[in-house]
Amino acid sequence: MNYRQFREWLIGSPLPTHRLAGQRLDTARALAALSPDALSSIAYANQEIFLGLVVAGAAGLAYSFPIALAIVGLLVVLTLSYSQTIRAYPAGGGSYTVARENIGVNVGLVAAAALMTDYVLVAAVSLTAGVAAITSAFPALEAHRVELSLLLLVIITLANLRGVHESSTLMSIPVYLFVFSYLGMLAYGVITAINEGPGSYTPNHFSGIGTSPITAFLILHTFASGCTALTGIEAISNGTQMFRPPESKHAVQAMRIMALLMGILFLGTVGLTQFFAATPTADETILSALARHIFGSGVLYLVIQVSTLLILLVAANTSFAGFPRVASILARDGYLPRQLSYLGDRLVFSNGMLLLATLTGVLILLFGGDTHALIPLFAVGVFVAFTLSQAGMVVHWFRAREPGWWLKALTNGLGTVTTTIALSVIAISKFIDGAWFVMLLIPLFVMGFRAVHKHYEEIADELSLRGLHHPSLPLPPPRIVIPIPGVHRGVISALKYALSISDHVTAVYVEIDPDRTEKVMNLWKHWGLGVPLEVIPSPYRSFVSPFLEFLDKTDQEHSDGQLATVVLPEFIPAKWWENLLHNQTAWILKLALLYRRRRYGKVRAIIDIPTHLRH
């Protein structure tokens, strides 16, 4: 199996461009495609609220539900705000697009940088949280959480390189499995709660219910952690174009259904964990403890854990749709390397996917596969993107001034203000936990984007045909120099080729071992086709420098304004390792000519004459 066959086995055979056709989905499937990131967030947000409050003991944990309510309030504001984005941008209004169009390029780039770090974090956090759902059920796997996370990452990456579409029916199964199994658990949980009455917190080895005082900082810090529940709610406004027409109407419907589901699941799980006083351990997540409390450790419990894993995998998968899309838009606008905008064999942005997979893998390794350690980095990017996108919408309405514009501006303004406040809370309270890293990363990304853009602009300018005179006089035939290592068939091939394109040919022999010179000169007399041979000494036994000096000299001696063309006899061994047995002078010389000797505005052509060897 050669490389090509292996590749086709792994990711499938290439697809032709015409297969790239827009697909429209009904609301149920579009919702399944766009909501997993948002819905799955409750799997870790709940746990983060617990961990934030537990240091203040049972008294602290009493704040769980109120904090969850505050977050749901934020959810309502964001839903109203994003519904307006959906109506204004039926073709899809990502934060980058909205911020760039309405506020300016640099703000757009900040939003893009925030979005991209966020996509990487969604992938990393979803994978590690998914693995945590499984290791809660099978604690023996806990020691291998990094390997498991990376294995899932590889599987998701391969599936996406093949081209798993977020819109496929297959993808909606985990979403609805998750929604219905969790709704079932909540319903059964409420009945249990009525029968059992409230639980009380008992210390366990993991949490060691603490006795820190309940400070404002503690509450805000916990609120900031819980805000990770809101990640992903912008997805529908990014993907409005996937809905059947009228797109906006269907998308707004879907947005509302999603927000409703999120609210129920989030408040329900937080409420019940607080009511039952469910506590996580080092081996078990809080949702697993809740499910075990309600269902015992049987099949129903396992269904909950598996559906948690699956929705988190689908959520990680949404990064593989989102990140490459943003990267390709930036690449097309010249802010990222062009390669990120190329559609691969399978009609997906393969380079972007590989970049995302690499970054995600690095994060998982760096943080030892620990969701809780990754969370502080998470919310900053999301809320930067939220804020900029909504601020952009405010500007949009001010500019458009359509009927009722002030109400719309007010709604988005409210969104902007609340997310700005939330962002400040997150940035300050989580700063030393790791938010500083993202706050450093985003400006660095923006600087990188701008540097790349500057480079492309300068190149385009330099290569532009503007001001170039239409070539009238043809060039004279080139002067040719052939460096020869001796006299063999490859050299004769090169010589014959050189004579077929010019009459002005010189051969050059760099004399490293003076004992061989006479033999070479005699052979040349017989085989050299009358071409003059220059022998140049090399007291330091180097080949490249004396040859380059000769080239400079001969260019100076001829006033034709051209640089001499170098014809390189090269031989290509039959097997790659045999290259180690030859000393690669041709390659070194080529690199020296191309990179070390810069000749702005003048052309030094290099002609390779390869001789392929059978051995």
Query: Taking CB under 8 A as the criterion, which residues in 484-513 touch its own copies?
Result: 487-490, 492-493, 496-497, 499-502
Q: Quote the least distance from Cβ 495 to its own copies, whole Å.
A: 8
CB nearer its own copies, residue 402 or residue 462:
462
What is the distance in angstroms between the CA of the first residue and the CA of the last residue of the chain? 23
Query: Which of 339, 358, 552, 560 is the binder for its own copies (CB under 8 A)?
Result: 339
Binding mask 530-569 for its own copies (x = CB under 8 A): ---------xxxx---------------------------
Q: Quote the least distance from Cβ 105 to its own copies, whole Å.
A: 19
HSE value, Cβ hemisphere, 13 Å, CA-based, for 282: 8
CB 350 within 8 A of CB 340: no
Q: Quote the least distance from Cβ 235 to its own copies, whole Å.
A: 28
Phi, psi of 582 (to 5 degrees): -125, 160
The yes or no reply on residue 406 touching its own copies (CB under 8 A) is no
Q: Quote the least distance from Cβ 109 to its own copies, whole Å.
A: 17
- Furthest CA-CA distance within the chain: 108
Considering only the stretches 70-78, 378-386, 439-447, 483-491, report the one whose residues sit in contact with its own copies under the rule CB under 8 A: 483-491
CB nearer its own copies, residue 216 or residue 595:
595
CB nearer its own copies, residue 75 or residue 481:
481
What does the alpha-carbon distance between residue 302 and residue 305 come to, in Å, rounded to a whole number? 5
Binding mask 282-311 for its own copies (x = CB under 8 A): ------------------------------
Q: Quote the least distance from Cβ 326 to its own copies, whole Å.
A: 18
CB nearer its own copies, residue 399 or residue 454:
454
Q: Quote the least distance from Cβ 487 to its own copies, whole Å.
A: 7
What does the alpha-carbon distance between residue 259 and residue 565 come to, in Å, rounded to a whole number? 69
Query: Which of 407, 476, 553, 558 is the binder for its own copies (CB under 8 A)?
Result: 476
Q: Quote the least distance from Cβ 610 to its own copies, whole Å.
A: 5
- Find the binding residues for its own copies in span 409-468 (CB under 8 A): 452, 455-456, 458-459, 462-465, 468
What does the alpha-carbon distance between residue 296 and residue 301 come to, in Å, rounded to a whole number? 7
Query: Which of 370, 527, 533, 548 is the binder for its own copies (CB under 8 A)?
Result: 527
The sign one gets for the Cα dihedral 71, 74, 79, 82 is negative
Query: Exposure of 585 by Cβ count < 10 A (0-12 exposed, 13-18 middle, 19+ buried)?
Result: middle
Q: Quote the least distance from Cβ 379 to its own copies, whole Å.
A: 31
What does the alpha-carbon distance between residue 601 and residue 191 come to, in Å, rounded to a whole number? 82
Query: Which of 403, 471, 530, 561 is the binder for its own copies (CB under 8 A)?
Result: 471
Q: What is the dihedral of CA 353, 359, 361, 363, to 10 degrees?
A: -150
Q: Quote the least distance from Cβ 124 to its own copies, whole Å.
A: 24
CB 370 within 8 A of CB 128: yes
The yes or no reply on residue 345 touching its own copies (CB under 8 A) is yes
Phi, psi of 568 (to 5 degrees): -110, 110
CB nearer its own copies, residue 281 or residue 493:
493
What does the alpha-carbon distance between residue 249 and residue 452 come to, in Å, rounded to a whole number? 39
CB nearer its own copies, residue 65 or residue 456:
456
What does the alpha-carbon distance between residue 130 and residue 150 come to, in Å, rounded to a whole number? 12
262: three-class secondary structure by DSSP: helix
601: left (phi over 0), alpha (psi -120 to 50) or beta: left
Phi, psi of 234 (to 5 degrees): -80, -10
CB nearer its own copies, residue 76 or residue 475:
475
The yes or no reply on residue 2 touching its own copies (CB under 8 A) is no
Q: Partners of 537 in the beta sheet?
A: 511
Considering only the stretches 13-21, 104-112, 134-142, 285-293, report the one whose residues sit in contact with its own copies under the rule CB under 8 A: 13-21
> Which residue do the tokens 């993202």 mark?
438
If you count them, how many residues does the chain have?
615
Query: Which of 194, 216, 299, 581 is the binder for its own copies (CB under 8 A)?
Result: 581
Binding mask 17-46 for its own copies (x = CB under 8 A): xx----------------------------
What does the alpha-carbon distance between residue 223 and residue 428 come to, in Å, rounded to a whole number? 12
Task: Extract the tokens encoding 332.
Answer: 């097309």
**Binding residues with its own copies: total (CB under 8 A):** 80
What does the alpha-carbon distance between residue 368 and residue 570 come to, in Å, rounded to a whole number? 50
- Find the binding residues for its own copies in span 583-612 (CB under 8 A): 583, 590, 593-595, 598-600, 603-612
- Find the binding residues for its own copies in span 153-172 (CB under 8 A): none
Asked if omega into 246 is within 30° of 0 (cis), the reply is: yes
Nearest to 183 by CA among 262, 79, 288: 262
Query: Which of 192, 398, 571, 592 is the binder for its own copies (CB under 8 A)?
Result: 571
The yes or no reply on residue 337 touching its own copies (CB under 8 A) is yes
